[in-house]
Amino acid sequence: MTLPTLEATPIPGLVVLRLDLREDARGWFKENWQREKMVALGLPDFGPVQNNMSFNAKRGTTRGIHTEPWDKFVSVANGSAFGAWVDMRDGDSYGAVFTVELDPATAVFVPRGVGNSYQTLEDGVTYSYLVNEHWRPATPYPALDLADATVAIPWPIPLDEAEISEKDRTNPSLADAERMQPKKT
């Protein structure tokens, strides 16, 4: 299996991984996350403790923008999605935006303090991610309005046609959203 390649982005610590998909008559196989190889290439040894999956019935389903206080390794298990991230950490890159199309050959490492969101580009897409802290139901995580005019994410499907949760319809704008502490160095 060919090593993945890692690409830096305008958001410090947010890394795009191009994975080797081994295709054959059955379909494909991928090492979605491989600790040893990816750490050797420069990915943090982030120590996942939880693997979440969300299934989205319809094209245009949009989730986010969620800024949990833990790192995430995200990808799709099938289909494709438009991924968008906003740096919510206080500092020079505060408010920086990055977007990329997620297909099975693309994964993204999202450092804590960066807002995470996606919109599915077809029906029946499962989004899968690894996180390095357990979810705490009692602690609501900071979030940002998907339609925020300052960050102005170019959603492929207009948000008024998108399936969005009740919760994600009332998230604050950038001006009112919580700023995250930058990582101590």
Candidate list 50, 150, 173, 181; residue touching a second copy; CB under 8 A = 50
Closest by CA position to 162, among listed 92, 64, 70, 31: 64
Could you report how far apart the first and last alpha carbons of the chain are, in Å? 35
Cβ atoms of residues 141 and 64 within 8 Å:
no
Half-sphere exposure of 105 (CA within 13 A, CB side): 12
Which residues, 6+ apart, have CB-to-CB distance to 131 below 8 Å? 48, 49, 50, 52, 68, 70, 71, 72, 73
Look up 134 and say whether it is catalytic. no
CB of 170 to a second copy, least distance (A): 16
* Residue of 34, 44, 91, 159 interacting with a second copy (CB under 8 A): 34
**CB of 32 or CB of 93, closer to a second copy:** 32
Which residues are annotated as catalytic? 66, 129
Which residues contact ligand TDX (rule: CB under 6 A)? 1, 22, 29, 31, 52, 54, 63-64, 66, 68, 116, 135, 165, 167
Which residues contact a second copy (rule: CB under 8 A)? 1, 24-37, 48-57, 61, 63, 77-78, 104, 124, 126, 128, 130, 134-135, 137, 163-165
